[in-house]
Chains A and B, each alone.
Chain A
Amino acid sequence: MKATVSLPLLSASNVDAGYGHVRVLENVSIDVRQGRIVVLVGRNGAGKSTLLRALSGLNRPTSGKVTFDGSDITTAPPNAIVKAGLLHVAEGRRLFRRQSVADNIELGRYGLRLTEQDHHWRVECIHQLFPILREKMELPAGSLSGGQQQMLAIAQAMMREPKLLMLDEPSLGLAPVLVDQVLAAILTLRAQRVAILLVEQMVERALEIADDAYVMQNGRVITSGPAAEIAAGAALHAAFMGEHGAPHHSEARQGRP
């Protein structure tokens, strides 16, 4: 990694985490600096989502240390981590489907003291970024399309003006044009000095917009560096398409059942 200019905003060092008896993450360390887009790539089951859950306090790390914005959040409860400005938009959006879009957006600011004016201003910002939501404010969130739901989930997080936004598979099930919109929104957020930690299966697209990247495999970080270097390297392919290489090579083994 290049020399850091300042202390990273988020720093996880030697984190282990898992579910019950099962240890998923082993000795994972990552840094996210302010205003950067960092992408985590790797196959399903590599531990990307578990890492995000460990960082946001849903799965408390069993060892290691996590600092955010200068304070230790390793054992902080999720709501305290959210208050500190680290927001996690979980896989599958996890909206409150029975409540209206407006209510969902309002819930995004839960626990924040905002003046009426500030509140309206933030909602206006959201409408600027995602104009479609303006038309859907009174509909239940569950009735939105997948892309609109993703926008709403990001909008919820924006109500807090986060320092770092963690997005787990924002392109999940979206049509290409909507993926473009979501990625554009991520770039807009970076322009506002928001740091982004992105887990994304559309590896190529993610690496295009990212500054830094980490490649995960079997619960470990196997390589990291500037996104462009990672995109050009072979480690990515190994992690993604399997040890034996890409599907091209499987032709040779077609004889097997």
Chain B
Amino acid sequence: MDIDVFAHGIVAGSLYALVAVSFNILYRPTNVFNFAQGELVMLGAMIFASLTSLAGMPWFVAFAATLLAVGCIGLVEERIAVAPILARSQTGTGWVITTLATSLIISNLVGRFWGPDPILVKPPALLSMDSLDIASSRISSYEIALVLLTVVLVAIVERVYRTLKGKAVMAVAEDREAALLRGIDPGSLGRWSFFLGAAFAAMTGVLAAPILYASTSLGPDLLLKGFAAAAVGSIGNNRGALIAGYVIGVTEAVGASLLSPGYQEAVIFMVVLAVLLLKPEGLFGSPNARTV
């Protein structure tokens, strides 16, 4: 197999893993799988593109501003579209429809504001998108940095879950009422998780922009591939998401090179179906404990 195909699979897979991690951040305390997550990634890419390419803001300033802005949008989503539904019923799935509605609203507003044309985003200083010919693969310094950064980010997120706040999030995920009795406020953790999950999604968008360009079509695509990585890697498991991201990315690249690029989605879909059929809880999860 062509090592180039493999390398690009890993690069794309890193992005999918990041989306999956952003899903997980949000999912852990709330049990909500945000259907607007793809649009939050897209929004991150668009805001960042405008701030740097059009407004000429320095890279790091634009980066921070983007994360903050999209984090706040995530918070607004939680307040308007998720919290009222969960207040009605903790177990219902009305949020599937409301978060989907949020995604429609965001995608449409962004489309009107920015138009359909993709915006080129340059990588930060010292890195470039020019291919380096290393070992017969055409990969850029930015892409190498992205792959490494993804591993570091997953490690950082896992580290955050080792803090007391992180443990509290896991506690809420396991038994919401028991968490209440330990003085933990699930509502506040839910809001934080939406803020951070949205900011993480925005960061994914910023990181994806130099490779995929910033455009409104980014959303649905990354939503589904992020979901694929999260489901295959077991929902809530970030290390699983990283590996599953690679699996999805490489499968997609190989599938596209063997068949045709049009088959990318179909190949991923088949992989997800096969995994869920054989191991419903994903590759890196254990079946849920007793529920009664």
Contacts and interface: CB of A to CB of B under 8 A. Distances in A.
A touching B, CB within 8 angstroms: yes
Interface of A: 56-58, 77-79, 82-83, 87-90, 94-99, 103, 106-111, 142, 156, 160
Contacts of A77: 185
22 contacts: A58-B177, A58-B181, A77-B185, A78-B183, A79-B185, A82-B181, A82-B182, A82-B183, A87-B181, A89-B181, A90-B181, A94-B175, A96-B179, A97-B289, A98-B170, A99-B167, A107-B168, A107-B182, A110-B164, A111-B183, A111-B184, A142-B289
Interface in B75-109: none
Contacts of A156: 182
Interface string B177-194: 111111111000000000
A96 B166 CA distance: 13
Contacts of B168: 107, 110
**Interface majority SS on B: helix, strand, loop or mixed?**
helix
A108 B175 CA distance: 14
A99 B170 contact: yes
Given A78-B183, A98-B174, A103-B167, 15 more contacts: A77-B185, A79-B183, A89-B181, A90-B178, A94-B177, A94-B178, A98-B170, A99-B174, A107-B164, A107-B168, A107-B182, A107-B184, A110-B183, A142-B289, A156-B182
Contacts, number: 64
B241 interface: no
A250 B164 CA distance: 56
Contacts of B180: 57-58, 78-79
Contacts of B15: none
Given A96-B174, A98-B174, A106 B167 contact: yes
A49 to B, nearest CB: 12
Given A106-B167, A107-B164, A107-B168, A96 B181 contact: no
Given A97-B174, A99-B171, A56 B181 contact: yes
B58 to A, nearest CB: 37
Chain A CB within 10 Å — which of B175, B179, B182 has the most?
Answer: B182
Interface in B181-209: 181-185
A92 B167 CA distance: 21
A96 B174 CA distance: 7
Given A107-B171, A111-B183, A160-B183, A96 B164 contact: no
